[in-house]
Structure 1
């Protein structure tokens, strides 16, 4: 079974446990997630920030469409924040232990998913928030994606994540353009971002073939 080598050792050659510089980032990020699960991250608060942006991006969108995009953006934020948490814990455990790759991956997965449950439990005590097992599942999807990809190496993980984001921007953008054109809604900046995503995917594919 493949072993994950420790990236720092003591003078005698033994592996050193997780250092402050390693575990501080994931713990700090857990604090950020905890703060976002207060009223500061409620739908009412995020709508004040996101709605003007969405209105600017899609000036012809109806209120119902904007509300749907607001919800989708919030769910995407769930995936993102827990993907980051899993990545930080994966990094900390890799740098602090010489265990097998599956052990490190399971450790990052367990810590991150446990925090997702704790986060939702915390929201049950906040008047403007609601605890949801569905959100735990969404959070866990982000965690699982990072852990699975992370086992392949950080460079490969970053490359895979970039590819997923580009395909999401391209496919989602094309669908949005088709929908907007069909109902006569201006698409604004989508006319720039969609071609850019498609062109980037084409360039990356050609480079991959050349190498």
Structure 2
């Protein structure tokens, strides 16, 4: 029983992390990604600073990529954590996949609704699709790992045994 509960801990922690990121107001959220973008621009510029207009344009483009990449990454991690939790209930790989994707999609929907309530933030269905794409990538990686482990160690891996 304890092992069954422990399998839900990683997914719960990732959901709490996503919720806390979404609770940050627009200014805080933008400044977090802005720090990362500034570091990238310093590397790109090297010893040759860009013209201010070009730097601002590149900053905006990079910030979009960093923010959406973060969305995809956090949902890929959530999908992997959900696969771990769900693997105790379903044996075949594909039921794990579609249940994991559905759970991530639904959580992304609630996350975007939550963001609509945060000052300076907006909820967009486009972000739900980006989150779902990240979840799909995580699920494909997770299924590949799980399939490899099950082939190598037999079909009993990934299943909680009840006494």
Q: 2:69 aligns with which of 58, 73, 76?
A: 76
User: Is contact 1:26–1:85 with CA below 8 Å preserved after alignment?
Assistant: yes
Q: Structure 2: give runs of 5+ residues left out of the alignment.
A: 149-163
- TM-score, reference length from structure 1: 0.60
* Residue aligning to 2:8: 23
* Residue aligning to 1:66: 59
**Inter-partner Cα distance in structure 1 for 2:37 and 2:2:** 45
* Residue aligning to 1:49: 35
Residue 121 in structure 1 maps to residue 107 in structure 2: no
CA drift of 1:47 comes to: 4.3
Runs of 4+ in 1 over 4 A off after TM superposition: 40-43
Residue 130 in structure 1 maps to residue 122 in structure 2: yes
**Structure-2 change in CA distance of 1:24 and 1:58 (3 Å):** same
* Residue aligning to 1:34: 19
* Residue aligning to 1:145: 137
Please give the secondary structure, in 2, of the residue aligned with 1:58. helix
| Structure whose alpha-carbon radius of gyration is higher | 1
Please give the secondary structure, in 1, of the residue aligned with 2:7. helix
**Aligned alpha-carbon RMSD (Å):** 2.3
CA drift of 1:125 comes to: 0.4
Residue 110 in structure 1 maps to residue 102 in structure 2: yes
Q: Structure 1: give runs of 5+ residues left out of the alignment.
A: 1-15, 157-211
Please give the secondary structure, in 1, of the residue aligned with 2:8. helix
**Inter-partner Cα distance in structure 1 for 2:83 and 2:98:** 9
**Structure-2 change in CA distance of 1:46 and 1:31 (3 Å):** same
What number of residue pairs does the alignment pair up? 140
User: Is contact 1:18–1:97 with CA below 8 Å preserved after alignment?
Assistant: no
CA drift of 1:71 comes to: 1.1
**Structure-2 change in CA distance of 1:132 and 1:18 (3 Å):** farther
- TM-score, reference length from structure 2: 0.76
**Inter-partner Cα distance in structure 1 for 2:23 and 2:4:** 30
